[in-house]
A and B are shown apart, each in its own frame.
Chain A
Amino acid sequence: MLRLPCPHCGLRDEPEFSFGGSPQIRPPSASDGEWTRYLFERENPKGLHLERWVHSYGCGRWFNVVRDTVTHRIVAAYLMGDPAPGVPDPAGHP
Chain B
Amino acid sequence: MLERGTAAATAGERTAISVMRMERRSVMRLKTWDARDPPGLRLADAPAPLPVGVGMVAAGDPRVLCIGPGEWLLIGTPSGRPAPAGLLRLDGAKTEDWSLVDLSSGACTFAIDGSASRDLLSKGSGLDFHPAQLGTRRCARTRFAQIEALIECLDDERRFELSVARSYAAYLESWLANATEEWR
- A8 contacts B143, C-beta separation under 8 Å: no
Cβ of B71 < 8 Å from any Cβ of A? yes
Q: How many residues of A contact B (CB 8 A)?
A: 12
Cβ of A89 < 8 Å from any Cβ of B? no
Cβ of B126 < 8 Å from any Cβ of A? yes
Binding site of A, secondary structure by majority: helix, strand, loop or mixed? loop
- A58 contacts B141, C-beta separation under 8 Å: yes
Q: How far is the CA of A15 from the CA of B146 in the complex (A)?
A: 9
**Nearest chain-B residue to A9 (Cβ)?**
B54
Cβ of B114 < 8 Å from any Cβ of A? no
Q: How far is the CA of A8 from the CA of B142 in the complex (A)?
A: 13
Given A57-B148, A59-B54, A61-B35; A12-B68 close (CB under 8 Å):
no
B71 / chain A contacts, CB cutoff of 8 Å = 59-60
Given A57-B148, A61-B35; A12-B142 close (CB under 8 Å):
yes
Given A59-B68, A60-B68; A16-B54 close (CB under 8 Å):
no
Q: How far is the CB of B155 from chain A (nearest CB, A)?
A: 22
1/0 per residue, CB under 8 A from A, across B31-68: the answer is: 00001100000000000000000110000000000011
**Nearest chain-A residue to B147 (Cβ)?**
A57
Q: How far is the CA of A91 from the CA of B143 in the complex (A)?
A: 33
Cβ of B17 < 8 Å from any Cβ of A? no
Q: Which chain B residues have a beta carbon within 8 Å of chain A's beta carbons?
A: 35-36, 54-55, 67-69, 71, 126-127, 140-143, 148
Q: Which chain A residues have a beta carbon within 8 Å of chain B's beta carbons?
A: 8-9, 12-13, 15-16, 57-61, 79
